[in-house]
């Protein structure tokens, strides 16, 4: 039985399990202690000192690393503590580039919020020397601006401890300390996988996505361009947050309306591309299982995972599915099938993908992803960038009516929408693979064993009397753990789904940013995934092979999954990469 302890925080009697920190205990008592460097379960180092409290010790102590003790009496908001916190903010501001009006994180900046709460403004900052840094904007996905860095080390922790990449860390000492790559190399020259987890965990504007909204505006203004847009499954589960809607609100219909008002010529759905991916991927899996192909087969939808595999586990490249990711498949079909159907010169078509993922920007530029001298996708913008475009256009998002996607590549099934959550690709593939292998109707399409936010999940699925062992990992640190199981021969997996971001695309590097304080109470991975699973349940069709528009494209154009034309347009290759170049 768990041992409980009792303490008093600001006069409130609190009972918590032994091992609980004072910060957690206060939260349970409804007492908010300010934090800056703290990131639950990831960066709990007590470095910034914003969360100091008076526990009766000789000096103030950081609540995030202070274990609650039986009989402890804690004060969190005395005049001395408030003065201490104000001084910390003044010192932080003294070396911080305070261009708040134009900062991408203005009004969603944890430092700005703390200053507002503790009544510290620009004039209060201590005057002194500032370090000046060159902005690192050579990556296709991520911009680093150390002039705004507060040295909280949250980005360092998530990159190393969660993603197992570790391409940034503190260098130098004292006043000259900075977060850099080894030998002050640029991110573009390191083994960065472009996942953007550093961005969504940064409390300020020191890290942000490469902004490609101008490219999109320019395309929309160009009368010679036929501009097609497609949003990923996870975008609809998070976009509403940028407009004040509760986390986990699905805004599919409003999102489509907003895109049409922005001026896109066609609004297709990446969910359609996800259904197409399942057709090809399930066929590939069945072929590998029945014909003695390389197993386990690993999914290829996540570009952060693909680059991680290419860089850190190149010996596993034969295990990767050759399928392009859903938005790349749809882009290829837009510039071939759609262009032919509509009599449009494919070279005049521009495809814009709205993704929850910063790594998709890198992916779109890969020379392997295109045909006939054209890239499958021309521009990738994140969920955050789309929100900025909607706001810039003066569109009142929350008041928009719902619209439907355009036909030909707008229909999708429940299997497609769950691609945005960890385990979703696996579940979607199993729904189709089961019926392909057995020829029987799958009555219960819910594979609960592969759902949830656990870093690694596995399940034994009986398909036609044969047990098929599958596994799911999210976060590339967990991917490595799973790969080690494969290499050791510990588990004979047939199929593995891996997503680069913890929790899957719903928690991608391009999604709306949630503060560390908010994450202590609500998990974006869970709430956003609920929206996708609810859409799945509400869909009239829940298996990719039942999509009528998917059936049409195979009947009219592709022939069958795995056909010669399918391989030309929907499949790709990979390359081993060095850790110290692109």
pLDDT at 173: 92
How do residues 520-557 score in pLDDT, each as one tens digit? 999 999 999 999 999 999 999 999 999 999 999 999 99
Can you state the percent helix, strand and coil of the chain, rounding each to 5?
45, 15, 40
The residue annotated as part of the active site, out of 360, 361, 539, 543, is 360
pLDDT at residue 68 greater than cutoff 70: yes
CA proximity to 512, closest of 146, 204, 247, 153:
247
pTM over cut 0.85: yes
Q: Is 184 a catalytic residue?
A: no
CA gyration radius, the chain: 25
Q: Is 360 a catalytic residue?
A: yes
Q: Phi and psi for 67 in degrees, rounded to 5? A: -65, 135
The residue annotated as part of the active site, out of 180, 281, 385, 411, is 281
Asked if 300 and 321 count as a contact pair (C-beta separation under 8 A), the reply is yes
Distance, CA of 476 to CA of 304 (rounded, Å): 8
**DSSP H/E element including 102:** none
Cβ atoms within 10 Å, residue 438: 13
Asked if 36 and 110 count as a contact pair (C-beta separation under 8 A), the reply is yes
The residue annotated as part of the active site, out of 363, 385, 411, 435, is 363
The residue annotated as part of the active site, out of 412, 505, 535, 546, is 505
Q: Is 301 a catalytic residue?
A: yes
The residue annotated as part of the active site, out of 15, 340, 368, 568, is 368
For β-strands 178-180 and 169-171, DSSP reports them as: antiparallel
Q: Is 368 a catalytic residue?
A: yes
How do residues 98-153 score in pLDDT, each as one tens digit? 999 999 999 999 999 999 999 999 888 888 889 999 999 999 999 999 999 999 99
b/e per residue 184-210 (b: at least 16 CB within 10 A): eeebbbbbbbbbbbbbbbbbbbbbbbb
| Max Cα-Cα span within the chain | 79
How do residues 429-459 score in pLDDT, each as one tens digit? 999 999 999 999 999 999 999 999 999 999 9
Mean pLDDT of the region 63-73: 97
The residue annotated as part of the active site, out of 159, 192, 202, 301, is 301
Distance, CA of 254 to CA of 277 (rounded, Å): 26
pLDDT at 581: 64
The residue annotated as part of the active site, out of 110, 209, 284, 435, is 284
* Domains of the chain by start residue, with CATH: 4-77 (3.10.20.740), 214-570 (3.40.50.1780)
The residue annotated as part of the active site, out of 55, 141, 181, 321, is 321
Q: Is 97 a catalytic residue?
A: no
* Percent of the chain whose pLDDT exceeds 90: 95
How do residues 180-201 score in pLDDT, each as one tens digit? 999 889 999 999 999 999 999 9
CA proximity to 153, closest of 164, 135, 167, 169:
169
Distance, CA of 184 to CA of 180 (rounded, Å): 6
DSSP, collapsed to helix, strand or coil, labels residue 280 as: helix
Q: Is 363 a catalytic residue?
A: yes
Alpha-carbon 365 to chain mean position: 19
How do residues 273-321 score in pLDDT, each as one tens digit? 999 999 999 999 989 988 999 999 999 999 999 999 999 999 999 999 9
Residue with tokens 């036909």: 407
How do residues 474-516 score in pLDDT, each as one tens digit? 999 999 999 999 999 988 999 999 999 999 999 999 999 999 9
* Percent of the chain whose pLDDT exceeds 70: 100
């Amino acid at each position: 039985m768990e041992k409980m302890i009792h303490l008093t925080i600001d006069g409130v009697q609190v009972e918590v399990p032994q091992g609980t920190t004072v910060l957690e205990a206060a939260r349970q008592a409804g007492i908010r202690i300010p934090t800056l460097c703290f990131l639950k379960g990831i960066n709990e180092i007590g470095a910034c000192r914003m969360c100091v409290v008076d526990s009766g010790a000789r000096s103030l102590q950081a609540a995030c690393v202070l274990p609650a003790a039986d009989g402890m009496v804690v004060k969190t908001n005395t005049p001395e503590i408030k003065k201490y916190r104000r001084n910390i903010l003044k010192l932080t501001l003294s070396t911080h580039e305070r261009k708040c009006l134009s900062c991408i994180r203005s009004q969603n900046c944890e430092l700005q919020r703390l200053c507002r709460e503790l009544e510290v403004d620009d004039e209060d900052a201590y005057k002194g020397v500032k370090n000046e840094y060159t902005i690192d904007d050579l990556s296709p996905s991520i911009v680093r601006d150390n002039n705004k860095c507060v040295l909280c080390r949250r980005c360092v922790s998530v990159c190393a401890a969660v993603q197992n990449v570790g391409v940034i860390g503190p260098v130098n000492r004292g006043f000259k300390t900075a977060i850099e790559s080894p030998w002050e190399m640029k991110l573009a020259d390191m083994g960065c996988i472009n996942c953007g987890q550093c961005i969504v965990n940064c409390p300020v504007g020191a890290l942000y996505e490469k902004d490609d909204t101008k490219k999109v505006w320019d395309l929309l203004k160009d009368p010679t361009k036929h501009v097609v847009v497609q949003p990923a499954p996870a975008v609809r589960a998070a976009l509403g947050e940028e407009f004040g809607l509760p986390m986990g609100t699905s805004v599919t219909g409003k999102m489509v309306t907003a895109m049409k008002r922005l001026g896109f010529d066609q609004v297709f759905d990446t969910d359609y591309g996800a259904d197409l991916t399942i057709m090809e991927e399930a066929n590939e899996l069945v072929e590998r299982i029945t014909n003695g192909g390389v197993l386990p087969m690993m999914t290829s939808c996540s570009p952060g995972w693909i680059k991680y595999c290419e860089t850190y586990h190149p010996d596993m490249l034969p295990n990767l599915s050759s399928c392009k990711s859903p938005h790349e498949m749809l882009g290829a079909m837009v510039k071939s099938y759609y262009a032919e159907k509509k009599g449009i010169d494919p070279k005049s078509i521009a495809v814009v993908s709205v993704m929850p993922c910063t790594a998709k920007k890198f992916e779109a530029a890969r020379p392997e992803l295109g045909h006939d001298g054209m890239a499958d996708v021309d521009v990738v913008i994140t969920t955050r960038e789309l929100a900025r475009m909607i706001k810039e256009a003066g569109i009142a998002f929350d008041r928009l009516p719902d619209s439907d996607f355009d036909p030909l590549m707008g229909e999708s099934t429940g299997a497609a929408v769950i691609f945005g959550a960890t385990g979703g690709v696996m579940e979607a593939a199993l729904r189709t693979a089961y019926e392909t292998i057995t020829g029987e109707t799958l009555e219960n399409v819910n594979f609960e064993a592969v759902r949830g936010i656990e870093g690694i999940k596995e399940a034994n699925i009986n398909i036609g009397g044969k047990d098929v062992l599958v596994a799911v990992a999210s976060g590339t640190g967990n991917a490595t753990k799973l790969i080690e199981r494969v290499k050791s021969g510990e588990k004979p997996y047939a199929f593995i789904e891996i997503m680069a971001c913890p929790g899957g695309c719903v928690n991608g590097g391009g999604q709306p940013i949630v503060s560390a304080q908010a994450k202590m109470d609500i998990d974006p991975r869970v709430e956003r995934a609920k929206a996708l699973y609810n859409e799945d349940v509400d869909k009239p069709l829940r298996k990719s092979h039942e999509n009528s528009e998917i059936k049409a494209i195979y009947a009219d154009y592709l022939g069958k999954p795995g056909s010669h034309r399918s391989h030309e347009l929907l499949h790709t290759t990979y390359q081993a990469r060095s850790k110290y170049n692109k």
